[in-house]
Copies of this chain bind each other. A is one copy, B any other.
C-alpha cells in the first residue's frame, strides 16, 4: 500500500471521517472521540492508528492521556491528486476542441 492508497483508504470509513471532523474543532483524547460512536474503545484506537498512519492526525502523550489533533497537511496530497487529474482532463479536452475546430475549418474553407 503506497501513501496515496493509505490516505484514500483512511478516508473511506465514515467513523474515521467523523473523527477527523471532530478533531477539526479541536484536539481530543481517545475516550472523548469514542463517546459519540457505538463502537468499543479498542476499535477507536485502531481507527486512530489508521489515521495516524495516513498522516491525517498527530498524537502526543500527556500523562495517561493521548490527545490527538488534526494534521490538515495530509489533505493537500489528496487535493493535489484531484487537481492533477482535472488538469490532464482539461488539457486533453482542450486538445479535442482544437482538433474539432481545425477539422471544421478544413471542411468549410
Q: Interface of A with B (CB < 8 Å)?
A: 2, 4-5, 8-9, 11-14, 17, 20-21, 24-26, 70, 72, 75, 78-79, 81-82, 85-86, 88-89, 92, 96
Q: Contacting A89 at CB < 8 Å: which of B9, B11, B24, B85?
A: B24
Which residues of chain B have C-beta atoms less than 8 A from A25's C-beta? 88, 92
Contact A14 B26 (CB under 8 A): no
Of B14, B70, B79, B85, which one neighbours A5 at CB under 8 angstroms? B14
Check if A2 sits within 8 Å of B24, measured CB to CB: no
What residues of B have a CB within 8 angstroms of the CB of A5 in the complex? 12-14
By the criterion CB–CB under 8 Å, are B89 and A70 in contact?
yes
